[in-house]
Structure 1
């Protein structure tokens, strides 16, 4: 981490969904034995770093990402982003911070009746007042920027195609372009390839890595596909039952480590490489929608 500028520091992050927590009681008053979605999770992220978070279903991966931009309110711990403690920011200041923390969703979060270019322009809504946002008023510079981003993700020719006419991989790349319209410092990607076929998954992962490295954006990605985590990551974090059980470079994620993270989770283990060598080489709004049937064109 010494060669990277520190951008994000998470310390002892916890989340308890017990009803008593939502009534404002302190941690010690939570019912004994209540499972915690997150417990004492700490890590740092440097500028331009590509981090993947792996772990079985229910390990707390999505909760972790949503706590980082406070789509979910953490129960305890601190989140320091770009020198600011954002865990306790009021709503007005939190909106400003969220401009710099983009999020990419498993189910795309596109407005399907709108075109690809209109969805990309939605990345600027955090910079608009309520009237400009509701009327869809964008500057010529913003429009030109949206077209450039669609070109960068390989979808320039689909700018005027409705989102519901795009394949899953295309939808996710529109989501990436929309996130980049925010000019973010961090991109949080919650299972961005879970609904995609292997070819589209690789294209999305390659696009994420290339764009974030070119721009020095920190990218934190939740994945079930351990092989992709090993290939694309600068660093891997393993969660199990809400706790961090591993953190290290891809070459440190040995077969024994992977088995420990996924121990007893047969459903997820199918995604774990069977022959991971002991020193494997190293190599981011509207409501969510289900994936559409794959359409023709580029994936």
Structure 2
């Protein structure tokens, strides 16, 4: 069973309070208390599943006596009709937990499925698909977990685990000459924090390659030809190169073929469509 962070624990509790409130009146009045049932969650569309442990935790928090068996694991491919999770226990409990468990699984499976499509299009290249911070507030850990289930790679979790100097930071700095001093100070005080600089032009790429302590250069909204030039400029050693901007399922293959190391895709999370999953009771 996966261990969830305090934030994820709180999210599960909030979701249950939001849905159940003072009680599930439908189950209370229309489902006999002594009724025991078997049910299963199954896929109604092809995709990649994620959030299974989260769904199990939802059922257990509603009723610790419910028996659950995961038929699939996060990252597994599913086709229409495939069972993902089997449940046995009090019918009231299963019905009370149903929607919250499905909401988590459908959202996270949608992200995993979306990510897997991008990953498939970049096969045979060195490029890894990255997520971004464009996540649902409070859901970041879970959504980034789903990206990994879909074959993607996590970018920074927040503002604290990588220094990412973008164009607005450079303007605020007011001079490129101060960049090296800032990098040196950060590396001295926070040696485990990596540094990434955003470049809009090849001139900036050239300048950044002359700095020490730069781990990544973000190639922002550059054409594929310019990115190929940046890759050649970097050579066999130096900062890793990340492509960003204008990335979708139509463009990602050509971008990956430029030789960049990473491609960040905000759409992995902010535009993912939930995977259709459903819960059915066994007759």
| Superposed pair shares fold, TM > 0.5 | no
Structure with the greater alpha carbon radius of gyration: 2
Q: Between Structure 1 and Structure 2, which shows a larger proportion of helix residues? A: 2
Indicate the TM-score class for this superposition, using the shorter chain for normalisation: under 0.3
TM-score under structure 1 normalisation?
Answer: 0.24
